[in-house]
Chains A and B, each alone.
Chain A
Amino acid sequence: MVDLTELSAKHTSAEAASRVRKRNASQVRLKLTGLFAIGLAGLALVALLWTVVGSAMGTVTEHYVTISVPVPAEDFNPEGGELDSVTVGRAAQAAVRDRMRTIFDFADTRAEQRELADIVSSGAAFELADTILENPELVGQDVEFSLVASDVADLYYKGFYGRLTDVPTSTSVRVEIAEDSDEASIFLQQNVFREVVDAVKIELQRRADRARDAAQLQDNGVRAFERRLETASNEEERAEFQTEITSRTTERDRLIGIAEDLENQVQTAGTSDTLDNRMPSVLLKAGGGWIKLTQIQQQTAQGTVIEPLETAEFQAGEWQMLVNTTPEVSRKVSDFQTVILEDLADMDTVTSQFNWRFLSAGDSREPELAGIWGAAVGSFWTMIVTFLLAFPIGSLAAMYLEEFAPKNAITDFVEVNINNLAAVPSIVFGLLGLAVILPLMNALGNDDFRSAPLIGGTVLALMTLPTIIIASRAAIRAVPPSIRDAALGVGASKLQTSFHHVLPLAMPGILTGTIIGMAQALGETAPLLMIGMVAFIVDIPQGVTDSASVIPVQIFRWSDLPERAFSSRTSAAICVLLIFLVIMNALAVFLRKRFERRW
């Protein structure tokens, strides 16, 4: 028998005190672990948002080049009378191209003309054509038109391809242009190339190191074959190894020679350096022309004329030395295009505007023309179908299972399967859609519904159903039985009790579950890939049977494209999707708070 009065003494013992300390310590430990976990999750979230939003910033604005484009009647309306869209389209292409060539008449080679054509988007001419078709009175005039810049031009203006920095100089320069070539010689009063030389040194040293590494690899090869030579069994092998050793030694010595050469250049850098396309671009802007420097000495330099200028002496302030530290090979904008873009900016023709196009346009192969609206509308239609199918079916199924179904082995089996369905990978539902729903709908509708929101929505509804049923059942179960008793007590039937009292009370929970399920469906990609919603669709879908894409699939497709502007658009599309998800979840929280009742 334990004496309780004796036991009470244990409360004040040292053992008890140590137990209290232990208990408190474990509580503190748990608290710290929890804080750490939350902090980690928060950090991950911030990192995610930071990268996505940071990358999406490139899509917030877009650049336009506003120039006056002649619209001659003989090109745009040779026949007279009504405008013909094909003729106008073709003429607009030519007009924009010719106008650019007139402004930048120094683009004389094919390569330069091609680069010039890449400055404004290919869509700009279509927009011009559309404007003219809408306003036929413009034919015969010079039209002041904002041409949307191409993706590379846009990214250049946003600084994604490095920025031209003005190296401050306080000296005069003499530029001599060769009579019969593009060569130019530059004579300076002071050495202004120190910073450039530093960058050159770093690049040369890097190349030297790379050559040394390569030489080391060859040397390893030489040693390996030397060892094999010692153990070689016959003459044939010996000869083979000997050849290998000879060739590798030659290669090694050649690489070492290159490395030494480069190291010498690093040593002597600043006396005379060649600037190639892996080194910073140094551009000289004077007298309305541009020269790209190819060779620099301390007070002289040689270069290629990009935009022509006359031989002359320029005082300090009359000329500029501009450096882009991003080498030409590492950017999609060539130095020639840089000159064009800078000239356009100097002419005050370049404006930056909020990128409504991204929010209002459909998909396009050209990143500057691509928008999310088509996918957003596709998502909208898909969600409509999903909601119309999943919400009534899900909530009514839950209602039946909770309130009406007898509790037996069959309902238990159904319940287990519903719970398991929630864990089925979504791509399986896509397969189901492809194998069953699509052919079924095609047969019923006597049409091809591939890529249609009707199919996508149905598949997503199937995927969402378990979530909705589980949430709805929990919500229905949470309605206190006293409410059911009350309703039955005044003579309400089972059906009346369920629909007049239980359902309204469970509705916040059901809606929360539905919205969460829908949010999950909104972000779903895999099943939609299976039923063909991954197609390239430019048009905005007008209904549930039109071909469509959805936002997550659009993100998936854009993320796969090599253009840099698409990677920024991918992030922007992710932001749009996140905004939708946040709105839906906020709605769920709002509904729960608004309609939550106490009893």
Chain B
Amino acid sequence: MATKTAQNGKEDLDIKIRSRKVNVYYGDTHAIKDVDIDIEANTVTAFIGPSGCGKSTFLRCLNRMNDTIDVARVTGEILLDEHDIYARDVDPVQLRAQVGMVFQKPNPFPKSIYDNIAYGPRIHGLVANKSELDEIVESCLRRAALWDEVKDRLDEPGTSLSGGQQQRLCIGRAIATAPHVLLMDEPCSALDPIATAQIEELIDELRQDYSVVIVTHSMQQAGRVSQKTAFFHLGNLVEAGSTEKIFTSPEDERTQNYITGRIG
């Protein structure tokens, strides 16, 4: 859970993730260059930018998913609650349980809906018995706004759901490990507008309890769901700030050009 609730207003919120001089290399390619950014708790932060600008790469640094790519190399410092997640004593597996992730394409496990949610709590030993697990599954599915649709068919495979439902199931699965941060890598790009609207509504609700970082191609979406926006271009973090400011009076010319559709 977030370290501090939203009662004091947005301006006083804690910094959840702090990155300093982060560089990412894929072999010889320098994908991310000296990115410094602060991500606030209980806020939706949107990463926008043209294709290949490194926003997904940077997102994957936040839960060390880049570790699974042999050629990827990360330098710099990323602090989660003031602890360096790239420190030697940090176990990336444990980290990923605290920093949940939702992927571009809905990827439920080909198991039952129940098992999709229950898998994370089970392997991390979050529950003592079956009834606790049942409670977690129900509350996660409720929070993912999926409970009413699936409560009678928890035994059916997760893959039998529609695309939007699958993505909500994936969100439910991500929050089932009780993370502090939710990373979303273009969660709506494979969905139709109605499903997209549902997910966006859900993201807004999730902000109460989690720091949400969302990568999106759609500036409208960034405008709708996020409070903070960061604009990436060619591996550089060009500009970050409140969404309103980025969209109305960007400081950098490149941001201006991207917002107005001149580059992209």
Q: A residues touching B (Cβ–Cβ < 8 Å)?
A: 406-407, 480, 482-493, 496, 500-501, 505, 597-599
User: Do A490 and B63 contact each other (CB < 8 Å), given the known contacts A483-B107, A485-B107, A597-B110?
Assistant: no
| CB pair B107 A492 closer than 8 Å | no
Interface centre among A407, A484, A490 (most CB of B within 10 A): A490
User: Chain A interface: which of B11-19, B95-103, B222-230?
Assistant: B95-103
Question: Bound state CA distance, A487 and B97, in angstroms?
Answer: 10
Query: Which listed residue, A480, A485, A491, touches B94 by the CB 8 Å rule?
Result: A491
Cβ < 8 Å to A, chain B residues 173-198: 173-174, 176-177
User: Do A406 and B70 contact each other (CB < 8 Å), given the known contacts A485-B65, A486-B107, A599-B110?
Assistant: yes
Contact digits for B85-123, partner A, Cβ 8 Å, 1 yes 0 no? 000000001111110111101011110000000011001
Question: Bound state CA distance, A489 and B177, in angstroms?
Answer: 10
Closest to B159 in A: A599
Query: Which listed residue, B94, B96, B110, B123, touches A489 by the CB 8 Å rule?
Result: B96
| CB pair A491 B107 closer than 8 Å | no
Interface centre among B110, B157, B176 (most CB of A within 10 A): B110
B261, chain A: closest CB distance, angstroms: 30
Interface assignment of B68: CB less than 8 Å from any CB of chain A: yes
B98, chain A: closest CB distance, angstroms: 8
Query: Which listed residue, A482, A488, A490, touches B177 by the CB 8 Å rule?
Result: A490
User: Do A489 and B63 contact each other (CB < 8 Å), given the known contacts A482-B105, A505-B110, A599-B159?
Assistant: yes
B126, chain A: closest CB distance, angstroms: 10
Closest to B98 in A: A491
Within 8 Å CB of B93, what residues of A? Answer: 491-493
Question: Bound state CA distance, A484 and B123, in angstroms?
Answer: 15
Query: Which listed residue, B100, B110, B157, touches A490 by the CB 8 Å rule?
Result: B100
A-B contact pairs, 11 of them (CB 8 A): A406-B70, A482-B105, A483-B109, A485-B101, A487-B119, A489-B101, A490-B119, A491-B95, A491-B97, A491-B98, A500-B123
Within 8 Å CB of B21, what residues of A? Answer: none
Within 8 Å CB of A493, what residues of B? Answer: 93
| CB pair B107 A488 closer than 8 Å | no
A407, chain B: closest CB distance, angstroms: 7
User: Do A490 and B65 contact each other (CB < 8 Å), given the known contacts A482-B107, A483-B107?
Assistant: no
| CB pair B159 A486 closer than 8 Å | no
| CB pair B103 A491 closer than 8 Å | no
Query: Which listed residue, A407, A484, A500, touches B119 by the CB 8 Å rule?
Result: A500
| CB pair B159 A490 closer than 8 Å | no
Query: Which listed residue, A407, A491, A599, touches B124 by the CB 8 Å rule?
Result: A491
Interface assignment of B170: CB less than 8 Å from any CB of chain A: yes
Q: Is the interface of A mostly helix, strand, loop or mixed?
A: helix
Within 8 Å CB of B173, what residues of A? Answer: 486, 490
| CB pair B177 A597 closer than 8 Å | no
B27, chain A: closest CB distance, angstroms: 13
What 9 A-B pairs are tightest by C-beta distance, nearest first? A491-B97, A482-B107, A490-B120, A489-B101, A491-B96, A486-B107, A597-B110, A493-B93, A599-B110
Closest to A479 in B: B110
Within 8 Å CB of A406, what residues of B? Answer: 70
If A490-B96, A490-B177, A492-B93 are given as contacts, then 17 extra A-B residue pairs at C-beta distance below 8 Å, sorted by A number, are: A407-B70, A482-B103, A483-B107, A484-B68, A485-B101, A489-B100, A489-B101, A489-B103, A490-B100, A490-B119, A491-B93, A491-B94, A491-B123, A492-B123, A496-B123, A597-B159, A599-B107
Within 8 Å CB of A485, what residues of B? Answer: 65, 101, 103, 107
Question: Bound state CA distance, A482 and B173, in angstroms?
Answer: 14
Interface centre among B70, B123, B176 (most CB of A within 10 A): B123
Question: Bound state CA distance, A488 and B63, in angstroms?
Answer: 10
Interface centre among A482, A483, A484, A488 (most CB of B within 10 A): A488
Within 8 Å CB of B103, what residues of A? Answer: 482, 485-486, 489
Query: Which listed residue, B105, B124, B159, B170, touches A598 by the CB 8 Å rule?
Result: B159
Closest to A484 in B: B68
| CB pair A501 B63 closer than 8 Å | no
Question: Bound state CA distance, A179 and B168, in angstroms?
Answer: 110
Closest to A406 in B: B70
| CB pair B68 A491 closer than 8 Å | no
Interface centre among A484, A491, A598 (most CB of B within 10 A): A491
| CB pair B120 A491 closer than 8 Å | yes
B19, chain A: closest CB distance, angstroms: 20
| CB pair B70 A486 closer than 8 Å | no
Question: Bound state CA distance, A490 and B99, in angstroms?
Answer: 8
Within 8 Å CB of B177, what residues of A? Answer: 490-491
Question: Bound state CA distance, A493 and B96, in angstroms?
Answer: 10
Within 8 Å CB of B123, what residues of A? Answer: 490-492, 496, 500
Query: Which listed residue, A482, A487, A490, A500, touches B176 by the CB 8 Å rule?
Result: A490
Within 8 Å CB of B110, what residues of A? Answer: 483, 505, 597-599
Closest to B158 in A: A599
Question: Bound state CA distance, A500 and B124, in angstroms?
Answer: 14
